[in-house]
């Protein structure tokens, strides 16, 4: 690891001096617009250098050649979300599965893609990857707390090729708070709720001698929200300072510690039918997440038209999970605790007096220089963004079988290390053919080399080693035509790519399956209308055409954890419609009325002959719907603000019915893992009131106001019921 850091630092220094020798054309244009990711060329203490995928203004969305959304700070304030899932559900094309109701594990699927552990979505925080291992195991066991976010960016179009490795579903970038512009600032946020829920957050920011500092500490806990109890601490610090007139540095460090009773075991179908929604089946299950991360971002401005941004980052994640063993049939090693209906085959859960401890540790490090240029070819204005990234990742995995129902120690069953090295090169150029028309071609090259070393399997020492590599070129092109700063049309096509997980591509026996990458062609066509300050509308049609879609077989997706996962050809077709009305402007009212409606209609199906065996019969699933891909999901928000400051937000979400297996089975299996999931509707209400004289505000929020009982998921091992009615109240203070 030490040698790797030396190499990364050497690369950082060499890139700076190589680029510094480039002669940049300083030609100016009075009508020039800044790049969506370009910061002010004047060094300011409140501009923290970090990678944005859209930019820091909602107006920049009109320059994106594809569907994009920016969840603003005011939107987060008005919603007072309990989890990040609440705000992401309001984005067209984004489907979120609530695993435990408190957002500790994020399961996001975009445009009909499988939401399991958000594997098909590139997840970032301040532009830096946050998955366990971005290439070899892109799973979201750690989820950034929405409570400390300033905004969230979502990108689904051809601009995705500027970020990787996943370019299939889209990019979600969590943006944390920046250092303040001047003076001192202290923020306090305290809230509580039923079932022992408590949130405490404190932030401090200041600027002194051109140095900006921001520190945020977050603590959350609950005794039992649904079936979940948890305790987490999260601290983030950001420092920004200039290095002369043309250079600045941003440093960010963070630490996250979580203990929860997260479990894979869900209830059976008979338990659900009888109303046993929130029975704790495995109270001894315990998941511990510890994550430490650091990044250094350096900006060097060659002129008003060119700058280099270089990010050096690294993080470690420890994910140790005690899970009690169980059986669907009577067992000799039982504890005597049984759930469900023992008279039905697979209708009961027999708890065993043993554990399987899945202990994993991940380390990731990378360097990514990006150059931004505004230049001219003759009279043709251009904007170029390009660069490369080198990334190292390593996973240490052990499985330890305990001989009691709650033991962390025991016999070492499995022990292995998985290592990967990736190099990416990317570039995207905006050609302003005329003032209204922009053409944006781009390309991304990905090369990933990986190795799996297996030292112990099934309690036997061994020495199995194999390696492989994948390479892919991902071209893309988009265009944007603005009619009169009110209406615009956009379209794009790009190559979707995601590498296979290492432990899927190389078997437990050390055999390389030569597993293909997940590949698709993604198409978009849409229109935006921004009618003064009265209404904004975006309508987007899309098609994702997969030559090979990876079908998850991990335990978290309800599979066995191993096996061939080339899923074959699939086709995703859909229409996304987002509308925002400023109703108060229509009626010229002193009251504020903002109405948001977001509708997604989607059809995701297997698009070629594919046979699977069920009950001794080979069945062709060509034309069947993909699991966990509802055909319709709708969200609506009405925000009301009174002249004296009192505000209310009513937010509703409707999720259509969906299937949970490739056969599209309607009837529910006794264990609850298979069967149709009915549609459901959730209504949330939030009230807020500012105390201007005290620089503070009060809020109260009711999640699932109607106390709707619904199946949120049948994965991985039974039914998970959605969050019941839940009330929180709190106060925010700015000093």
How many whole angstroms separate alpha carbon 578 and alpha carbon 552?
A: 31
Residue pLDDT, tens place only, 115-173:
988 988 999 999 999 999 999 999 999 999 999 999 999 998 878 899 989 888 899 99
Could you tell me the pLDDT band of residue 523, with boundaries at 50, 70 and 90? very high
Between 566 and 430, the more confident residue is 430
| Contact (Cβ atoms closer than 8 angstroms) between residue 335 and residue 368 | no
The two tokens of residue 118 are 């958000």
Report the chain's mean pLDDT, rounded to a whole number. 87
Could you tell me the pLDDT band of residue 566, with boundaries at 50, 70 and 90? low
| pLDDT (mean) for 511-540 | 85
Q: What is the DSSP letter of 615?
A: T
> Which of 61-65, 123-127, 604-608 has the least mean pLDDT?
61-65
Between 467 and 363, the more confident residue is 363
> Which of 18-22, 335-339, 594-598 has the least mean pLDDT?
18-22
| Phi, psi dihedral angles at 576 (to 5 degrees) | -115, 130
Of all residues in the chain, what percent carry a pLDDT higher than 70? 88
Of all residues in the chain, what percent carry a pLDDT higher than 90? 64
Residue pLDDT, tens place only, 460-492:
999 999 998 999 999 999 999 988 778 889 999
Mapped to the 3 state alphabet, what secondary structure does 66-129 carry?
A: CCEEEECHHHHHHHCCCCHHHHHCCCCCEEEEECCCCCCCEEEEECCCCCHHHCCEEEEECCEE
| pLDDT (mean) for 280-293 | 94
Residue pLDDT, tens place only, 75-100:
898 888 989 899 999 999 999 998 88
> Which of 1-5, 442-446, 454-458, 690-694 has the least mean pLDDT?
1-5
How many whole angstroms separate alpha carbon 116 and alpha carbon 168?
A: 15
- Examine the pLDDT at 524 and tell me if it is beyond 60: yes
pTM for this prediction: 0.90
Would you kindly state where each structural domain of the chain is located, as residue ranges? 2-734
| pLDDT (mean) for 653-660 | 95
Beta bridge partners of 557: none
Q: Which fold has domain 2-734?
A: Maltoporin; Chain A (2.40.170)
Residue pLDDT, tens place only, 679-723:
999 999 999 999 988 889 999 999 999 999 999 999 889 999 999
- Examine the pLDDT at 70 and tell me if it is beyond 70: yes
Res 47: pLDDT:
61
- Examine the pLDDT at 424 and tell me if it is beyond 70: yes
Res 33: pLDDT:
39
| pLDDT (mean) for 436-461 | 94
- Distance of alpha carbon 155 from the chain centroid: 11
Q: In terms of DSSP bridges, do strands 121-125 and 170-176 run parallel, antiparallel, or are they unpaired?
A: parallel
Res 534: pLDDT:
85
Instruction: Determine the length of the chain.
Output: 735
| Contact (Cβ atoms closer than 8 angstroms) between residue 157 and residue 68 | yes
């Amino acid at each position: 690891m030490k040698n790797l850091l030396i190499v990364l630092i050497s690369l950082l220094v060499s890139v700076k001096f190589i680029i510094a020798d480039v002669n940049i054309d300083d030609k100016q244009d009075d009508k020039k617009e800044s790049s969506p990711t370009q910061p002010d060329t004047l060094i300011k203490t409140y501009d923290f250098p970090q990678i944005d995928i859209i930019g820091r203004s909602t107006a920049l969305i009109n320059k994106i050649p594809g569907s994009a959304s920016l969840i603003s700070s005011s939107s987060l304030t008005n919603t007072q979300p309990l989890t990040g899932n609440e705000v992401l559900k309001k984005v067209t094309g984004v489907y979120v599965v609530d695993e435990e109701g408190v957002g500790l594990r994020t399961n996001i699927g975009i445009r009909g893609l499988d939401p399991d552990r958000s594997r098909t979505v590139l997840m970032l925080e301040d532009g830096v990857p946050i998955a366990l291992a971005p290439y070899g195991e892109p799973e979201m066991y750690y989820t950034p707390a929405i409570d400390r976010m300033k905004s969230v960016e979502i990108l689904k179009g051809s601009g995705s090729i500027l970020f990787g490795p996943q370019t299939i579903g889209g990019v979600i970038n969590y943006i944390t708070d920046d250092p303040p512009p001047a003076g001192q600032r202290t923020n306090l946020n305290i809230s509580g709720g039923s079932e022992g829920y408590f949130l405490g957050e404190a932030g401090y920011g200041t600027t002194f001698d051109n140095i900006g500092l921001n520190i945020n500490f977050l603590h959350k806990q609950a005794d039992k929200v649904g079936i979940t109890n948890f305790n987490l601490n999260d601290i983030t610090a950001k420092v920004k300072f200039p290095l002369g007139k043309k250079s600045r540095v941003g440093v960010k460090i963070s630490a996250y510690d979580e203990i929860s009773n997260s479990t894979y075991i869900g209830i059976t179908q008979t338990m659900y039918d009888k109303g046993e929604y929130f029975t704790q089946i495995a109270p001894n299950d315990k998941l511990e997440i510890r994550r430490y991360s650091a990044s250094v971002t350096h900006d060097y401005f060659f002129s008003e038209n060119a700058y280099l941004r270089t990010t050096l980052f690294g993080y470690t994640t420890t994910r140790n999970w005690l899970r009690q063993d169980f059986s669907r049939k009577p067992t000799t090693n039982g504890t005597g605790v049984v759930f469900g209906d023992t008279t039905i085959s697979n209708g009961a859960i027999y708890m065993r007096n043993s554990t399987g401890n899945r202990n994993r540790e991940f380390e990731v490090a990378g360097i990514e220089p990006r150059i931004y240029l505004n230049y001219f070819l003759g009279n043709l204005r251009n904007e170029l963004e390009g660069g490369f990234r080198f990334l190292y990742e390593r996973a240490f995995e052990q499985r330890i079988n305990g001989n009691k129902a709650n033991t962390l120690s025991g016999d070492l069953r499995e022990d292995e290390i998985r290592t990967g090295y990736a190099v990416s090169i990317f570039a995207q150029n905006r050609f302003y053919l005329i003032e209204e028309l922009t053409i944006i071609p781009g390309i991304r090259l990905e090369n990933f080399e990986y190795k799996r070393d297996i030292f112990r399997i099934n309690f036997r020492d061994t020495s199995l080693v194999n390696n492989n590599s994948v390479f892919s070129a991902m071209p893309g092109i988009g265009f944007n035509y603005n009619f009169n700063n009110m209406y615009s049309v956009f379209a794009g096509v790009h190559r979707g790519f995601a590498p296979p997980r290492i432990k899927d591509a190389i078997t437990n026996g050390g055999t390389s399956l030569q597993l293909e990458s997940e590949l698709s062609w993604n198409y978009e066509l849409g229109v935006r209308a921004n009618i003064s300050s009265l209404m904004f509308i975006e309508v987007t049609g899309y098609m994702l055409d997969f030559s090979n879609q990876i079908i998850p077989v991990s335990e978290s997706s309800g599979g066995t954890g191993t096996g061939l996962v080339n899923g074959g050809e699939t086709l995703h077709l859909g229409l996304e419609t987002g509308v925002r009305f400023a109703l108060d402007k229509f009626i010229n009212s002193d009251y504020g009325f903002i109405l948001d409606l977001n509708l997604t209609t989607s059809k995701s199906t297997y698009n070629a002959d594919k046979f699977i065996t069920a009950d001794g019969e080979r069945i062709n699933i060509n034309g069947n719907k993909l699991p966990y891909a509802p055909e319709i999901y709708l969200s609506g928000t009405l925000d009301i603000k009174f002249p004296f400051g009192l505000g209310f937000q009513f937010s509703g979400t409707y999720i259509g019915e969906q299937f949970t297996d490739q056969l599209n089975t309607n009837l529910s299996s006794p264990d609850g893992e298979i069967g149709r999931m009915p549609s459901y509707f959730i209504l949330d209400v939030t009230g807020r009131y500012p105390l201007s004289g005290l620089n503070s505000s009060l809020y109260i929020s009711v999640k699932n106001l109607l106390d709707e009982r619904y199946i949120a998921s049948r994965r991985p091992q039974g039914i998970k019921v959605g969050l019941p009615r839940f009330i929180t109240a709190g106060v925010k203070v700015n000093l």
